[in-house]
Structure 1
Amino acid sequence: MPSGLVVAFYAVGMQLTEMSVMGFRTSVTVFRRPAGGLRWVIIPTIHMGHADYYWAIWQRLRSCQAVIAEIWDGPSSTGMAYANAMRLARQRASRDLVPEDIDFSALGVPIIFPDEYLAPNADPDRRMSREERLTAAVMTPILALHMALTGDGDWLGSHDLNIHDDTEVHRDASDRKREDLLLGVMREIDGEFATEDMEVAVVFGALHMPTVVQELTGKLGYRVMPGAQWLTAIDYDEPPYMRKPPLDGWMDW
């Protein structure tokens, strides 16, 4: 969620994320062709949130037969820097924030990382590399100073994070390359398994998802299914004891 990102909004379409006075939520939306077959589970994410948010995503992925995910199977150094900076700057909603960390390997299904060329040189046990930790440590005070200078203690709330399928997001060459790789994987899977009764999830940063949804509903001919779910990533007011991740199987998906 770098401060330099520019998001432009036009006619409102299907909402993918929601920023409100209550906090920040992301959707879980399923797409399928009218004739049936392959279902795509689209899950936009944010680099930092409450632990039960990432736990809920992991639980939803258990019913999927494959997952397409971002960069690598390990914690987000970007999320670590932002979460630590928010606490250091005493920002609203900074309590109990953790970096994005979804244990994809524990799902026991094929995991595809289209942009894995960006993956850090991490340990086999999913620990963040020394270089990534150093980068996060260097960035934290810089980000904290920027947040503190916003003046009102609510740096996150000053950003419009409402993203729809028709949101236009500024992309540089690296972003376009990553999205081209992602769409290429999706097209390949669709070509091989379009008629199969199976679910494939796409778990990527929220700003990439308008491109994904436009591809599904445009060239590939998918339609959104009713009953989208919403997951709270950051809650401004909920007491910490309400957010403690309970035992396995806590959600009826």
Structure 2
Amino acid sequence: MQIIEVTGYAVRSAVLTMRSTGRPLEFVIFPMLHVAAPTFYAQVRTRLRACDLIVMEGIRGKSAGVSALTLAYRFAPRRRRNGLQEQSDALLLPESVPVIHPDVTAEEAMADLRALPRSTYLLLMASAPVLGLVFALRGPRVFLDDDLAVDDLPSTLRAEMLADDPVERAMTARRDERLLDALGEIHADHADEPMRVAVVYGARHVPALVSGLMGRYGYRPREAEWLTALVPR
């Protein structure tokens, strides 16, 4: 099963509801694209209103390095004809639902990247602006690529390949662990309460998230709802 489905006409994201037998607490996983159609973010916001707590991705603090990396998805929305928006808290978060941010700091994120071989690190930093220009020029069609597809269970070949990639590990491993620790605290404190906890994280974090909730705490995917994230123009 895929959590991000890429076809010739659209990209869709599967919202997963995970439950553990005998417990009323449930986690609702929203696999996010950081650039998408405005309607996608509106649909997510509507569903977040029905949740009791939101666990939100977001590197804390500022860093020139982190800003450079995010150029890859900040350029595309600047061309109005692309019909895209960049993800933001203002678009997503309803005022009535409490939010926690267990993500790493900018300093921690950059420390993990600097631990890569120097040539790999420099290539990564240099390629972000180039990718951003490609996204801006090609528009939504650049996203209609099988490389964007993400599987939800790490036993699949694609997820295993990603897990072995040093850049992928540097960008996600510490952040995934921090997220799972936060969800573990929620589980310990509220497992016997009828709470609906939303987890709003980029799609690349979801394989480790699903695996961790299953292996550590016994939560399994019970429902999935497809949301259209973008369509080409």
Residue 51 of structure 1: CA displacement?
0.8
Residues 85, 143 of structure 1: 8 Å contact kept:
no
Match of 1:229 in 2: 225
How far does the alpha carbon of each residue in 1:128-183 deviate from its partner, in whole angstroms, 9 at most, with x for none? xxxxxxxxxx9886335556999xx9432344222112223232334211111101
Q: Secondary structure at the match of 2:97?
A: coil
2:186 matched to which residue of 1? 189
Give the secondary structure class of the aligned counterpart of 2:228. Answer: strand
Cα distance change of structure 1 residues 27 and 105 upon mapping to structure 2, 3 Å threshold: closer
The equivalent residue for 2:7 is 20
Q: Is 1:33 aligned to 2:20, yes or no? A: yes
SS of 2:174's partner is helix
Alignment of 1:1-253 (within 5 A): 14-71=1-58, 81-82=72-73, 84-85=75-76, 95-103=82-90, 106-115=94-103, 117-118=105-106, 142-143=130-131, 146=134, 154-164=141-151, 165-166=153-154, 167-168=159-160, 169=162, 170=165, 171-226=168-223, 228-236=224-232
Structure-1 separation of matches of 2:78 and 2:170: 32
| Letter aligned with residue 15 of structure 1 | Q
Please state how far the C-alpha of 1:29 moved relative to its aligned partner: 1.1
**In 2, distance between residues paired with 1:202 and 1:33?**
16
> Structure 1 residues 141 and 215 mapped into 2: Cα distance closer, same or farther (>3 Å)?
closer
Structure 2, unaligned runs of 5 or more: 61-65, 108-125
Report the equivalent of 1:135.
Answer: none
Q: Percent identity?
A: 33
One-letter code of the match for 1:67? I
The TM-score with structure 2 as length reference comes to 0.72
Question: Given the two structures, how large is their TM-score scaled by the length of structure 1?
Answer: 0.67
Could you tell me whether the CA contact under 8 Å between 1:85 and 1:141 is conserved in 2? no
Task: Name structure 1 gaps, 5 residues minimum.
Answer: 1-13, 120-137, 238-253
In terms of fraction of residues, the more helix-rich structure is 2
Q: Provide closer, same or farther for how the CA distance between residues 80 and 64 of structure 1 changes in structure 2, counting only shifts above 3 A.
A: farther
CA RMSD of the aligned region, Å?
Answer: 3.3
Q: Distance in 1 between matches of 2:85 and 2:137?
A: 23
Which residue of the partner structure matches residue 114 of structure 2?
none
Q: How many residues align?
A: 197
* Residue matched to 2:122: none
